[in-house]
Amino acid sequence: MATASARRACAKVKQQAGARNAARSEVMEKTPRAKEQSREARDTLLAKPVRHIPEGGLAALRRKARDCHACGLWKHATQTVFGAGADDARVMLIGEQPGLQEDAQGLPFVGPSGRLLDRALEEAKVDRATVYVTNTVKHFKYELRGKLRLHKRANAAEQEACRMWLAAELARVQPHIVVALGAMAAQTLFGNSFSITRERGQWRRLGPATEGFATFHPSAILRTQDEQRAAMYRLLVQDLSEIAKHSDLPE
């Protein structure tokens, strides 16, 4: 006959086995979802991870993004600034985040940076009307100085929270050419070690039918003084001219 301590030991072993089985079945239950998520993340053109890609066409995404509370930036911004352009555009330009004027108008690149970008695109013989223009982060972030709202860079957590929208835009538009404007977009596409100074203008494969490169952000040019500003602007135009040269890409 088993002693009381042997029975207690036996019950403990059974309890531990039960806990192990429960944990295993939980893992097994989670596995398909985990696989689904990693497939989604693998299928994006982005180097940085994306946990979930919202469903729907561009119009539905734009509607859903209006109510996005994935990070705290919506609280102080006027509105979500989603991408703009044709849903079958062959070229996508990705900036950093909306500024003051974009926040007010709800459209990307309509302020001073946008005007510089428009001029550079025109010189590079790229028609902005045929391009999809968007940002890495969809809300304006700022700090108050008196009454002024001064641009503040979105942090890593805010970028991560917003990345699903960019991944969804890329998945729906399926551009053949993607151009990152500035370091935030470049590192989202190509990884954290990407350096605009070293690797600007270099084509990279992003997916089976998509190539891309990074170039200066228009606002970095606006912040730079005199001669260097002119040189950077010429390089931006030179880089954007590459888009027109790649007219042999599939429709």
* Sequence-distant (≥ 6) Cβ neighbours of residue 210 within 8 angstroms: 45, 174, 175, 176, 177, 178
Which 93-132 residues touch ligand URA, going by CB under 6 A?
Answer: 95-99, 102, 108-109, 111, 113-114
The nearer residue to ligand URA, 114 or 175, going by C-beta atoms, is 114
The nearer residue to ligand URA, 102 or 239, going by C-beta atoms, is 102
- 3-state SS of 163-227 is HHHHHHHHHHHCCCEEEEECHHHHHHHHCCCCCHHHHCCCCEEEECCEEEEEECCHHHHHHCCHH
Size of the site for ligand URA (CB under 6 A): 13
How is residue 50 written in tokens? Answer: 């994306």
The nearer residue to ligand URA, 70 or 154, going by C-beta atoms, is 154
Q: How far is the CB of 155 from ligand URA (least distance, A)?
A: 15
Distance CA 251, CA 246 (A): 12
Write out the H or E segment, with its range, that includes residue 110: none
**Ramachandran sector of residue 201 (left: φ over 0; alpha: ψ -120 to 50; beta: rest):** left
Q: Is 85 in the site for ligand URA (CB under 6 A)?
A: no
Q: Is 187 in the site for ligand URA (CB under 6 A)?
A: no
- State which amino acid sits at residue 64: K
SS3 162: helix
Q: How far is the CB of 39 from ligand URA (least distance, A)?
A: 30
| Contact pattern from residue 207 through residue 246 relative to ligand URA, giving x for each residue in contact according to CB under 6 A and a dash for the rest | ------------x---------------------------
Q: Is 159 in the site for ligand URA (CB under 6 A)?
A: no
Q: How far is the CB of 113 from ligand URA (least distance, A)?
A: 4
Residue nearest to ligand URA (CB): 95
